[in-house]
Chains A and B, each alone.
Chain A
């Protein structure tokens, strides 16, 4: 290794110098000295950043250990070690040094979503199957508690003895009794009473203060004091620790058999589908709970008549919509970028800002405005531009498709304009000059020289934009909801529905019951479709080929 550095120098300097080559050019020496100075800063900041990161990881690890989160803990250790290995390592790990920060965020916040969706596709998660079985049993039990009709309101105070809670109950007649979850109510002798005659203390028990009640509220609301030794007479419960009511339950849960039985002896069992149902399956208890269902959602996706019926038409329109959106937004964006990319054009700064404005307003607001502009009778487009004609922009099938694309172009071209404006800067100015010298028309120069070069860097964005528009839920839902409806199917699907809005309608019941499992399975199917198309497109455009 060629080095001009003396051994006394700091390791950092030596390292930097080691990379340098011997030179006598003064200009180059100056530059090398500059690199050396900033190199020291680099090493120090690296130490600081990595140190801070390690400290952060360390505190994470301790916190996780405290919470017994072992899997995330191990993941954190592995990632931390990996990152240290990358940043303390040699140049072979160089790509890692540049990729790691972004990839860590990507892994945590995006890949997680992907895996979560993938997992949900194999469950029945959705309305009615929202939580765990324990939660469902709890909810069913609570809902089954009915207040005994015309039973009185009991005033209650919470007492405590030997760590156990008691109700001190004053009935409307002024009779005072005491009881707990295990001890049915018995008459209390000589209670202390407050000004209104309500009992608030009993010898041998401590009366809970409000603060104590609030600190133990979960335990207190769980107390059910039997009215008598006969369970059929019901139990007293309180929600607010000041008044209690008499409840009986029309369902009882048998923990050992895992069944609910109602008053008339009907038994509800876990039917394996995440709910309690009678043996013949006709009656079910709500709510159910979340279980794994294997490929059931995917099977549903492929056999659902709502999907298979209009599928082909919707799929074709989805492609048309996505392709037209990309082509038109790109064409308009590029065209405007070229037009405004002229050195002597006065006011081009202002033009540029105004032209990107649609991008700066909330899509939701723009969508509503466009729906208003396209109103057949009162909209500006018909009233002013078409002299009062009643053109059904959003309600006739073909026109609605046209309008949806038009609005989407309005929403999307500023993005392409910005991207093209930026990308045009990478084209050497000499290209223009050369073309002009060769006598090529500006159009020719654009088409055969600039465009191909531009496409190299923009093609991936076009593919991404295609994928985005393929799933462009918002525009459709704001403008047409997918309507006008197809008249030949009975389903709520129409001529501007994209695959993704169709999935939404099928899985979320047109704004009603939401079946996340099905939605997830369907969207994974769509993802596989669009990903395949994209990969093929990438191959074809050679977008991944090296430019240099």
Chain B
């Protein structure tokens, strides 16, 4: 009784758990219930129930309402899909002039707009791509195919790889000094020599369009939200959902709107990359000290100058993190959008993974990661650059970089010309090393994988079986055994205990949406995989983070490792795990664990670092041991920040679980992947995406509310 009086919350939580388990035991599994494996909704099974809403017929297996709620929202995907098609094909037909056929054509408005948009994107991508690789499209865009036929000389020649590599090294030198230059030169040379030049440049051209556009849009929307409360209020829910929406899910509706290809990929990438940019811009602008703004005003800034010369540069740190995020998302999408026909490394990577050619996949993945790290470091160096006003330089010193580039240009062209004579009839290796004609280490890796399999097969297999049979299957069965009503009671109860009635209502709404969709079972599987991943990640991340924090050098080292790992596109993580564990749930889960451990570790370290040094000293002077200090001072104070890490860990885990569908899982991701190849998949894909986003948001809401309260209680910021 003493304990209950001391910790009233504890009693409430206990009560909630008792109610939850009571419900679980009280409601039996219906005899007819089984986990639906196939796409049963397309089979007319006489056992199914139906209802009609808004003219859409929804078929489903009915159970006791306490066990599983009926899919009352089952019409939503169909409705979304039909609306999209109506919008694209029938709404507002208008007359448009067609350049190619030289006549007016009737086209629906939305279709015309999206086609114009995609044409513009295509032009941008092709322009950069042809500067790097050569081609016709850009010139065609200004003239016509007839003109090209008449003038066969008119073709962008493309740059020899030597020039691009040296050029990027010079740019890196100008931005970040010698170290970065060496890295840039080596990375580019590696890409070329190992025969990945063409796909790499395709990917690069895609990113050089997508990243700046996302940055500009994100920044402007962020500014708009900063200036106007109304814009912010309108954007906020979208931003929230987009943050936890798996990138896969956006592919499907975009497929309908923008078609297939690089241009669609750019637009999707923007949809995914802009929200974090907006959020971070807003965050940064908010954090600018009021006196700095006043100083700007007193210097006589007008609104424009105040924004671009005072506010944005002062908020630079957060905005840079935004840029970093944009680049990360772009590379991630460069791979994922290969599903809808974007060319480049991502496409090769997917192809190789599909063929289980781990070696090839590894090479492509390495190239993507190299370019990602390079661009990330260069953008950072660019933002930190300093101007030298006082250097008394002559013309050559001032323009040495441009002059040097000019020289490289000449040498590169000369080399390429020399190569065209030397390698007569064959491939001109000094111009471009053709794909798969470079050095390839694929065989080596494949043999390595085979060797690993031959040598360790027994152990891996044993581990795999043990994990699946002893841990994963029971856990999955437990999750599926939860009656819907019990789950809802648990989640809503938690919401009420943490954040009061408001939080409870929000969480209830989010859960109900999933429960009323046709995919509750799948959502449970997704949650189980994510939970498993998160628990293991947190244990690893908190431990590693705490250990690394004991020493200044290891702290710095670990943060750098996190930085680099975070730059890898998420898909790349699938390569090594497939290498080791083949195509099983274990692979997915290990990828999830590796990927989600990054934020767990990072936030642990940052949380511990944020503990004021005064407290640290005060504790030391009270004569605590290292362990006492850690457990009595540092952990309690760092805990709120670490919980934010948990939040990120959950989001990362969910993303990876969904991407894991590529290997083959039985959760929401699998359906999203299916929707990609389904003509009517747009609505399904989007609804599934929202379901996943809502799972993330439920945890997000609970954790954030708790953290805010806790921070207020502790008096931190």
A and B assemble together: no
Interface residues in chain A, defined as those with a beta carbon under 8 Å from any beta carbon in chain B: none
